[in-house]
């Protein structure tokens, strides 16, 4: 064997390996894929970006709502007049907890102004109306907070399977390339398999944050809903005590 032939062979392998690395970049994998796999990748990336937008918006909003609820509770339990507090809030409450308070006080004022607290049955009916108004307001506020959460759940549950569909389609194309070229070399099928696996990777990138965020945000929303329900119970007890004092 001629020793002078070894360096060119080594250089050829090195250059070939370098070219393969370039061709296996994320951009090249996307550009070399067929239109179906490209569509799947674009859809998964769009779902991932939208999921992150929802996540950031929900985190920011829940922090703001917790801060507003804490400020209102400090004012509510400070011992001041509830009538004066309602006059300050008026028809423009800053958060859901203030909205619950405003809705209850609005019904309270309307009923007392019409003299609907004269008898025990009227007072019991007023108590029920106030609780119904607050529960309705609670459902409406939680529905607003919970908006777009179903999208996170859908992405978390379906994105891996959508990516898997792209993987299956890419592998089918790889087998077709083998049939056409009649060459079972890894160099023939590697690009197609890499493209296929790249679709699954994008699906996981979209799904994993969506699942984690959905579980975390659902727990935070449930805790906040429990906080509002506790306020409803406390405020109902206060109003019930005031109605009894009117007897």
Query: Each residue of 201-214: pLDDT tens digit?
Result: 899 999 999 999 99
Confidence of residue 88 (pLDDT cuts 50, 70, 90): confident
Structure confidence at residue 38 (pLDDT): 83
- Where do runs of H (alpha helix) occur along the chain? 6-23, 26-32, 35-76, 82-89, 96-113, 120-145, 149-181, 186-245
d(CA 92, CA 231): 19
Structure confidence at residue 10 (pLDDT): 37
pLDDT at 247 over 70: no
In contact, 61 and 32? CB cutoff 8 Å: no
Whole-prediction pTM: 0.78
Average of pLDDT values for 3-21?
42
pLDDT at 225 over 70: yes
Q: Write b or e for each residue in 184-194: b if 16 or more Cβ atoms lie within 10 A of its Cβ, otherwise e.
A: eeeeebebbbb
- Lookup: tokens for 11: 């250089």
- Lookup: tokens for 129: 């109306």
DSSP category for residue 114: T
d(CA 62, CA 145): 8
pLDDT at 12 over 50: no
DSSP category for residue 184: -
Confidence of residue 39 (pLDDT cuts 50, 70, 90): confident
**Residue pLDDT, tens place only, 165-203:** 888 887 777 777 666 666 666 666 666 677 778 888 899
pLDDT at 147 over 80: yes
Confidence of residue 31 (pLDDT cuts 50, 70, 90): low
Structure confidence at residue 14 (pLDDT): 39
């Amino acid at each position: 064997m001629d020793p002078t032939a070894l360096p060119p062979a080594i250089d050829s392998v090195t250059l070939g390996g370098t070219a393969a690395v370039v061709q296996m970049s994320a951009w090249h994998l996307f550009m070399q894929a067929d239109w179906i796999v490209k569509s799947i990748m674009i859809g998964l990336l769009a779902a991932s970006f939208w999921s992150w937008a929802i996540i950031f918006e929900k985190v920011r909003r829940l922090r703001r709502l917790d801060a507003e609820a804490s400020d209102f509770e400090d004012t509510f339990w400070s011992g001041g007049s509830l009538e004066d507090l309602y006059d300050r809030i008026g028809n423009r409450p800053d958060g859901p907890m203030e909205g619950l308070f405003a809705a209850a006080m609005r019904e309270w004022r309307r009923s007392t102004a019409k003299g609907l607290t004269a008898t025990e049955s009227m007072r019991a009916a007023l108590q029920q109306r106030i609780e119904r108004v607050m529960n309705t307001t609670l459902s409406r506020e939680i529905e607003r907070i919970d908006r777009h959460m179903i999208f996170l759940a859908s992405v978390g549950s379906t994105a891996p399977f959508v990516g898997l569909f792209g993987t299956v389609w890419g592998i089918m194309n790889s087998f077709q390339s083998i049939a056409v070229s009649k060459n079972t070399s890894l160099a023939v099928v590697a690009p197609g398999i890499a493209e296929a696996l790249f679709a699954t990777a994008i699906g996981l990138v979209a799904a994993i944050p969506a699942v984690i965020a959905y579980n975390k945000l659902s727990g935070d929303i449930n805790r906040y809903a429990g906080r509002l329900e506790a306020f409803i119970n406390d405020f109902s007890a206060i109003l019930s005590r005031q109605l009894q004092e009117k007897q």
